C-alpha cells in the first residue's frame, strides 16, 4: 500500500496543475449531473440502439470526453503541440473506434431469433453471454495491429502481463470494499442493477442447473473486465504515454466515468477515483493486472451481494 501511495504522490507532484485539474473535474462533474438529472444516456444515446447510426452515436459519445479532457489539460499546461502528432489521432480513433463498434454491435440478437429450436429464455441467456464476451477478440486484433505499427518495442500488449506488480495493496482494497458493497446491497438502486443476470426470471435454460447457469454467466461477465482494463489502463495510458506522457491519465479517467453513466450514480462517481488510481499505477508499472483484479473482485462481490439479497429477502 505504501508503494501505491508513493506512486500517487509522485504523479501528482509531476503532473498536477491546479486549473487544469479543476477544469477537467468541473467538466466531468457537470456532465455527470446532467446525465443523471436528464437520463441523457438512457433516453438519448440508447434510443439509437439497434440502428445503423448507433455506431456513430456511440463513437462520438465516448470519444467526446476523452478529447475534451485532453484539450483542457494540455491547454492549461501550454502543451497543445502534443496534439500535432499523427500517432495521437490514429491511436485514439482506433481505440475508441473498436470500443464503440463492439459496444453498438447487437445484430446477434436478431440472428438468435432465427433459431427456432431455442426457447425465449435460452435466446435471452445466449444474448447475455455473447454481450459480455463479444469484445475480447476484436480488441486483441485491433490493439495488436496498433502495437505493431507504433509500439514494436513494447514487450507486451499494453500491460497485459503478470510481471512487475505487487497485488497485496489491491487485495486490501477489496477487503475494504467488502463492507461498503454489503451495505450498498440494501439500496433499491443497487438491487435494481444487480445481479446483472437476474436468473430467477429465466427458468429451464438448456437443462442447466441454476448454479451452473449462473456460474457460466458470471465467469464471462468477469472475463469481460479484461477488455475494460486493456482499453482504459492499457491502450489509453500505457499506449498513449509515448504521445502524451503523464497527460495520458486524466483524459482516460474522463472517458472512464462516461462509460459508468448507465449505472448507479455512486458507481459513476467512484469510477473517477478508481480510474485515476489504477491509471497512475499502470503508468508506472506498465501492467494492468491490478485493475483486472480490482474490477473482477468488486464485480463478483456486487453480484454475490445481490444474489444473497434475492435469496434471503
DSSP string, 42-96: IIIIGGGTTSTTHHHHHHHHHHHHHHHHHHHHHHHTT-GGGGG-HHHHHHHHHHH
Place of cell 426457447: 119
What's the predicted TM-score (pTM) here? 0.88
As given in the structure block, the three cell numbers for residue 244 are: 502524451
Look at the alpha carbons of 205, 206, 211, 212 in this order and tell me if their dihedral is positive or negative: negative
Alpha helices in 151-264 (DSSP H): 168-184, 188-193, 210-223, 225-229, 241-244, 249-258
CB atoms within 10 A of CB 35: 21
As given in the structure block, the three cell numbers for residue 59 are: 463513437
In which domain, by residue range, is 242 found?
Answer: 2-312
**Among candidates 97, 81, 80, 82, which has minimal Cα distance to 146?**
97
| C-alpha span between 276 and 65 (Å, rounded) | 15
CA distances to 11, 74, 120, 126, 296 from 206, in Å: 51, 54, 11, 10, 27
| Sequential pLDDT tens for the chain (313 residues) | 778 889 999 999 999 999 999 999 999 999 999 999 999 998 899 888 878 899 999 999 999 999 999 999 999 999 999 999 999 999 999 999 999 999 888 888 888 888 888 888 888 889 889 988 898 899 999 999 999 999 999 999 999 887 767 777 788 888 888 998 999 888 887 888 888 888 888 888 888 898 898 999 999 998 888 999 999 999 999 999 999 999 999 999 999 999 999 888 888 999 999 999 999 999 999 999 888 988 899 989 999 999 998 888 7
pLDDT number for residue 164:
67
What is the number of structural domains in the chain? 1
pLDDT number for residue 201:
82
pLDDT number for residue 108:
82
| C-alpha span between 255 and 54 (Å, rounded) | 18
| C-alpha span between 98 and 138 (Å, rounded) | 7
Amino acid at each position: 500500500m505504501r508503494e501505491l501511495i508513493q506512486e500517487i504522490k509522485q504523479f501528482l507532484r509531476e503532473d498536477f496543475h491546479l486549473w487544469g485539474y479543476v477544469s477537467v473535474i468541473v467538466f466531468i462533474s457537470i456532465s455527470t449531473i446532467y446525465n443523471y438529472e436528464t437520463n441523457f444516456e438512457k433516453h438519448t444515446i440508447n434510443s439509437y440502439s439497434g440502428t445503423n447510426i448507433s455506431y456513430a452515436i456511440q463513437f462520438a459519445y465516448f470519444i467526446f470526453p476523452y478529447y475534451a479532457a485532453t484539450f483542457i489539460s494540455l491547454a492549461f499546461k501550454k502543451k497543445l503541440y502534443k496534439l500535432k502528432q499523427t500517432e495521437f489521432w490514429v491511436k485514439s480513433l482506433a481505440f475508441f473506434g473498436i470500443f464503440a463498434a463492439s459496444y453498438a454491435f447487437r445484430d446477434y440478437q436478431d440472428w438468435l431469433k432465427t433459431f427456432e429450436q431455442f426457447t425465449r429464455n435460452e435466446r435471452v441467456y445466449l444474448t447475455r453471454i455473447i454481450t459480455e464476451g463479444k469484445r475480447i477478440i476484436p480488441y486483441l486484433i485491433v490493439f495488436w495491429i496498433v502495437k505493431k505499427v507504433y509500439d514494436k518495442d513494447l514487450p507486451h500488449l499494453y500491460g497485459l502481463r503478470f510481471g512487475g506488480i505487487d497485488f497485496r495493496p489491491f487485495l486490501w482494497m477489496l477487503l475494504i470494499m467488502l463492507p461498503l458493497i454489503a451495505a450498498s446491497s440494501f439500496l433499491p438502486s443497487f438491487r435494481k442493477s444487480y445481479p446483472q443476470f437476474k436468473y430467477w426470471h429465466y427458468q429451464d435454460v438448456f437443462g442447466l442447473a441454476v448454479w451452473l447457469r449462473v456460474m457460466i454467466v458470471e465467469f464471462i461477465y468477469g472475463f469481460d473486465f479484461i477488455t475494460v482494463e486493456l482499453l482504459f489502463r492499457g491502450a489509453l495510458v500505457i499506449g498513449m504515454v509515448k504521445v502524451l506522457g503523464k497527460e495520458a491519465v486524466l483524459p482516460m479517467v474522463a472517458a472512464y466515468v462516461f462509460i459508468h453513466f448507465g449505472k448507479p450514480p455512486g458507481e459513476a462517481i467512484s469510477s473517477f477515483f478508481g480510474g485515476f488510481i489504477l491509471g497512475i499505477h499502470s503508468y508506472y508499472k506498465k501492467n494492468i493486472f491490478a485493475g483486472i483484479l480490482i474490477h473482477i473482485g468488486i464485480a463478483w462481490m456486487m453480484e454475490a451481494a445481490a444474489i444473497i439479497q434475492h435469496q434471503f429477502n
